[in-house]
Homo-oligomer: A and B are copies of this chain.
Amino acid sequence: MAHKPRKEMIAETRAKLVSAARQAFGTAGYAEASMDDFTAAAGLTRGALYHHFGDKKGLFEAVIAEIDAEMNERLCAVSAKATNRWQGFVDESVAYIEMALEPEIQRIMLRDGPAVLGDPSQWPNANACISSMTRSLTILKEEGRVGDIDPEAAARLVSGASLYAAQWIANADDPAATSKKAVKAFKTLLNGLLAEKG
């Protein structure tokens, strides 16, 4: 009776591994995170890891997919709250900068992720953020709110600027002041996308 169904046990094991790995990757970093260590912290061994995820990179991908989904959800919530679509886009972009200040996101998504898995735009399970940004821009373009630019290109430029800015802010002597400067410059830059000066 005390037996849980099999599927549940397996899902639990996977979740434990992802969680422990996320913790380790987020703090120590991918290269420095020892598989022996964090599997043990989850009460398991590397055997379980190789069984479920193939290798260290496989588990890393799972962690990334999880975080990406969370980020996307948060960003959607932000843009949904805005009064108009352009404002929603701006808010979303700024929120993106702010999320990039979180150490876990910075380390896993922005630093180790690209180094280990390559170009983020090629990640299979993690592009929800970019896609939703692109969608927003597509509509804004149709509405004539923004000029004649490729929405995906703009979305990528914006997210690139954001994450770079975030790194800079996070490591600055005075993050709060730096953040102000960055956000202001960022909004100014975004105005370039508008069809008419706002």
Chain A 157-198 interface 0/1 with B at a Cβ cutoff of 8 Å (1 = within): 111111111011011000000100110111011111110010
Interface residues in A, total, Cβ within 8 A: 46
Asked if A112 is at the interface (CB within 8 A of a chain B CB), the reply is: yes
Contacts of A153 in B (CB 8 A): 165, 168, 178, 181-182, 184-186
Q: Which residues of A approach B to under 8 Å, CB–CB? A: 30-31, 111-112, 114-116, 118-122, 147, 149-150, 152-154, 156-165, 167-168, 170-171, 178, 181-182, 184-186, 188-194, 197
Measured between alpha carbons, how far is A170 from B156 in the docked complex, in Å? Answer: 13
Which secondary structure characterizes the binding site on chain A? helix
Cα-based distance from A150 to B189 in the complex (angstroms) = 12
Contacts of A152 in B (CB 8 A): 181
> For residue A121, which residues in chain B have a CB less than 8 angstroms away from its CB?
167-168, 171
Q: Give the chain B neighbours of A154 by CB distance below 8 A.
A: 185, 188-189
A167–B118 CA distance with the chains assembled, in angstroms: 9
A182 to B121, CA, bound (A): 14
Which of A112, A153, A171 is the most central at the interface, judged by chain B CB atoms within 10 Å of its CB?
Answer: A153
Tell me, rounded to whole Å, the shortest Cβ–Cβ distance linking A198 to chain B.
10
State A120–B171 Cα separation when bound (angstroms): 10
B171/A157 in contact, CB under 8 A = no
Chain B residues within 8 Å of A122, by CB: 171
Give Cα A182–Cα B150 distance, bound, in whole angstroms: 8
